[in-house]
Chains A and B, each alone.
Chain A
Amino acid sequence: MLLRRHFLFVASLLASTTAVMADEAAAGFRAQFLAGNLSWDDVLTQARSEGAVQFFYWGGDDNLNVWMDSVVAPAMAALGVTLVANRITATKDAVDLVIADAAAGRTIGDGSVDAIWLNGENFYTLKQQDLLFGSFARALPNAVNFEWEAADARSQLNLRDFGTLTDGAEVPWSGEQYVCAANRAQLPVAQTPHTFEDLRAYLEANPGKFAYIKPPHYLGNTFVQQVLYAFNPDGTGAEPFQQAIADLGAAELARLVAPGFAYLKQIEPLLLGGPQGAVRYPEDAAAAEGLFRNSEIHINCGFGLYAVATKRANGSYPQTAEEIIFPAGNMIKNKNYLAIPANAPNPAAALVLANYMSSVDAQVTKLDLVGYPAGIDPWTLELADAAALAAAAPAHFGVTQDELDANIAPDTNASLVDVIEATWLEYIERGSRLPLEEIVANAVAKLAP
């Protein structure tokens, strides 16, 4: 792992000696496109001459990979562009590659990554390092499929990614919601927890039967964020967590998160392995899923509005798995996006891919075959298209779409996520005896400038 990253770095250093100069044609294309001087036909022509698009995405979902190869690749081929699907195990790998390329002086036309599926901290990193292609999302023909009107609260998911302004540098691709599944073979409907207090009561009766994924994994971070929303001492839920750390301040953040962290500390002995004296946090979604399948935990949580339907169908969840509304009113919903790096080797082909992914066709087949909620906004579509989207949606078990919609909460600002995860590591995992205010203040002080 470490060696490979070095290899990448060294290799890009060597390559840079032969191709330091920016690709003039690609740089010109970017300037013209961002200035609005090109028609979409010009973009298509340029994309055909580039010939291929290097798309980097997390390759851990077989359904998604099959859809990519059997639906997206032919559709792109019809536009004269070969889709090169680079399946990676972590999105950060693609971000690292963009940064390594840039460090080696490879600018637009010379890099290795055309498009990345990402959100949250990874987008924040690229934006901070000024490594994004530019504001393209609203210039795509399919931009009409999204709500951009800031006055409409529903546009926030298109305009902000974990609190970071997207500025059109990424286009929404899928929506997601944090949903927990219960195994009805162990957990009867009457005992279903809806709040974190319910969860504690359930765990007191059934010690060790719940686990959340270890932060800094984003699924673990999300669970922690929901706890913090629910225990917000002002009762304002997610609201104050939308601000950046610079505006909120370390002392105020510490005050807001104190009851939530106290709860996390309190339930620790009741979590998986706690009764045996060594609490165990699963490393990733696959590990948690294995525990759930084996009845070691009764509730498994993750992002996936239709995950229960998909997993029941492919056998990775038992047929007794059902969705539950937990935590009520604080189920985090967000979107994930396609971003184009500043050093994309084939920028026009990347734009064509982003536009195709935003089409009704792509979104309907993705929902149908992969089960990922639409990234486009149904109310902006023609009635027939919206109906097709609704018809493609997989089923819910035990809850209705309306109940799921009624309990959503926004994500936490990306600049707070780093602080919260550092606080969790220090306060919960390392069991630091420092007061929480000091831990939060240290985490804020250590943040990358």
Chain B
Amino acid sequence: MSDRVDSVQLMPDIRLPAEAKYKNELDALAAHDDKPRPPGWALSPRAVETYILGSPKPVGGVAITPKYVGDKGLIQVCIATLASDRALMLVGEPGTAKSWLSEHLSAAISGTSALVVQGTAGTSEDHIKYSWNYALLLAQGPTPEALVPSPILRAMRTGKFARFEEVTRTSPEIQDSLISILSEKQVSVPELGEITSAQRGFNLIATANTRDRGVNEMSAALKRRFNFVTVPVVEDLEQEIQIVTKREAELRTDYQVGVPPPEELSRVLLTLFHELRKGVTKDGKTKVRTPGAVLSTAEAISVLFNSSILAQQFGSGTVTSQELAASLVGAVVKEQEDDVKALREYMETVAKSRTGPWKELYTASKKLLRG
């Protein structure tokens, strides 16, 4: 606890990596883990599962909080894949906690989630294999000191997990440089005349988006190196409320800002998200237009967090429909003008006729959506 206070005073990192934030949980699990661990793993598969899904009973006096709420089978497939020689590919719609899951899996299994390559259109083979410190290269010629290893190469050398975010944003030729890494588990550096082979414990977790336009389809050869796990959109309203409330509270603690929003409003927000996503109201009676913007769980978290900051800084100090409406409009209406219409339609046909906070939300949004 004193740790916490100190770190606050010293202006800590905005966001701690999973392995630092949940260090006490990971330590407790490692200390009480009597199951065999695959080579290079910090925890046994069963302990990793407990870490991700949480445990109803504290382990070694430490409560294990759930990091992912959802299908147990899905997590087990992830862990089983990582214990094999195939890499894991998490696919799904944006905001379904793919990266979140990948971070926690790496943290639990390898003890680090920092070896990450972010896939973009500008990602080159250098980012995947290695590049050079050109000053040293010019001064000394190709030497091991002048080599700048990529996160993946570092993971191979140390037998850790590497993470590759948004693989499909990278061009297919660059993606394919992963093939040899994943099948031969080695990277050759011809300039030095040496080959780096992966230490036991190395594996790769990649994520890819199924919704974004303009993504590059992966080659069949690369696909064969992965086991695919589809991370689903949360279908269950109660479950999503639980996830969003929990994550939003964590964000408030991390950023030391905002006031807790009332439960009632979280429910309103997520019901709205669910209904807009499905295109039909909860009772199945009214059809609503689905906006083009992605209405993910992550988006809901951000809307709720945003309104809690608004309320604290510019509002009355408690989150009301006013703040929620303001954040909501910003989140839903991002790309297309049509989305304004979809939201306005929803407010007119659905929110208007409901009671309590819905009514206030309707009034608050009416002004914002006029246009």
**Physical interaction between A and B:** no
**What residues of chain B have their CB less than 8 Å away from a CB belonging to chain A?**
none
